[in-house]
Amino acid sequence: MDLVTPSGRRRVEDDLARHGGDVYAVARRLRKDVSDFIDFSSNTHVFAAHVTRSLINGTPYPFEHYPDNDAAVLREVIAAHENCSPANVLPGNGSSELIWLALRELAPRKILFLGPMFSEYVRCAMLLGIEHAIVTPPDGQDFACGPKELRAIWDSNADLAVLCTPNNPGAVTYRNIQELFEVLRIPRVLVDNTYREFLHGWPEYEANTHAAYTRYARTGVSVFSMNSFTKFFACPGLRLGYLVGDATTLSRMAKHRPPWMLSPFAEIMGLLFLEHIGVYRDALHPMRRQGEAMALHLRRNGCFDPDRVFLGASFITAALAHGVPASVAREKLLHRGVIVRDCDTIPGMPKGYLRMQIRPQADSRVLLDILDWHGERGW
């Protein structure tokens, strides 16, 4: 058995606490201003950021009253969006709050994570003392679940399974999602749907709803889905997400959290975002074209293994060529004013991957020019 020393455990916990979008920490460390950087690490729908900016600028901040603890109006609108009852919706202060709330209240004995996995889930499990295992399909099969992974899921003795689809940073949307649910004999399943809206207009969109998961699940399996406004509505500083699941469990969760976790402003903005969701969906078309162009360029510029460049929902995940450490590449790019995500600290990811947000052509050109330079001259 491998033993982890207290200092080693702290290092793991520190690594898991790192996320993309850490522009303030980067700016402090390099003694620069946040505006000196182009942030490719956050994965937000930047092609629609102007819509969010306009909606926020046109909305007065309601500071006169305490928040509505029930977020009743927002729950009704989300329920209509999810085709469920408001009692099956629990809004929260971003998905991060809800991850901790869900794992604490569900109190599983053991968790099975289908990797790669958002590190906050694994960090939460570690700090709560919950036993966990990670099953990750290899990058050689594009992180898609094959027979070996399906067998491992079938054999698992966990009492909670957590998966993310579309996956970040694995960039896979499980096309065999129904088969995946058929082998999930685990009594509770939590699906992270943070990137689902990026699938709109494709067949996978309807296959990745809470209602669909409930149909796929075996009899007796309870399904929860985690959702965030952050990525699709380009509002990481706003903190707004929601959980969909059975009313009894969500009611218990709501009673065991601090009051006023969701600000009135966040609730109002959530309503506006969903009211204008069609505009955000229209902006997917230029984003997808730009993503395809970026991925093609990255496969050809010499920095990355062309067979391991994966186009994700709003980002590209790519394996550095020639064994270059991801931390080295990220640091070099930081000093050129570009922030990318080093995936080495993401649970289940192979070493040597960078994740890069799909941004408009002017920003992308800056990144691609720097990468072209390193492709010719090395790191």
Q: Give the CA dihedral 379, 42, 144, 100, nearest 10 degrees.
A: 130
Contact predicate 298/304, CB 8 Å: yes
Instruction: For residue range 90-123, list pLDDT tens digits in order.
Output: 999 999 999 999 999 999 999 999 999 999 999 9
Instruction: For residue range 290-319, list pLDDT tens digits in order.
Output: 999 999 999 999 999 999 999 999 999 999
Q: Is 217 exposed, middle or buried, given 0-12, 13-18 or 19+ CB atoms closer than 10 A?
A: middle
Over residues 58-77, the mean pLDDT reads 96
Residue 291 is classified by DSSP as: H
Residue 127 φ/ψ, nearest 5 degrees: -70, -25
Residue 16 has pLDDT above 90, yes or no: no
For residues 15 and 214, give the distance between their C-alpha atoms in angstroms, rounded to a whole number.
34
Residue 15 has pLDDT above 60, yes or no: no
Residue 352 is classified by DSSP as: S
Residue 282 has pLDDT above 90, yes or no: yes
pLDDT (0 to 100) of residue 22? 86
pLDDT (0 to 100) of residue 131? 98
For the chain, the structural domain boundaries read 6-50+282-377, 62-277
Contact predicate 210/225, CB 8 Å: yes
CB contact set of 289 (below 8 Å; sequence gap of 6+): none
Q: What is the pTM of this model?
A: 0.93
Instruction: For residue range 20-62, list pLDDT tens digits in order.
Output: 678 999 999 999 999 999 999 999 999 999 999 999 999 999 9
For residues 347 and 299, give the distance between their C-alpha atoms in angstroms, rounded to a whole number.
25
In b/e form, how buried is each residue of 258-290, taking b as 16+ CB within 10 angstroms? eeebbbbbbbbbbebbbebbeebbebbeebbeb
Banded pLDDT at 1 (limits 50, 70, 90): very low
Unique residue bearing structure tokens 């790191």: 379
Residue 202 has pLDDT above 60, yes or no: yes
Q: Tell me the CATH number of domain 62-277, given options 2.60.40.790, 3.90.220.20, 3.40.640.10, 1.10.238.10.
A: 3.40.640.10
Contact predicate 261/101, CB 8 Å: no
CATH 3.20.170.30 fits 6-50+282-377, yes or no: no
For residues 270 and 77, give the distance between their C-alpha atoms in angstroms, rounded to a whole number.
9
Q: Which amino acid is it at 106?
A: L
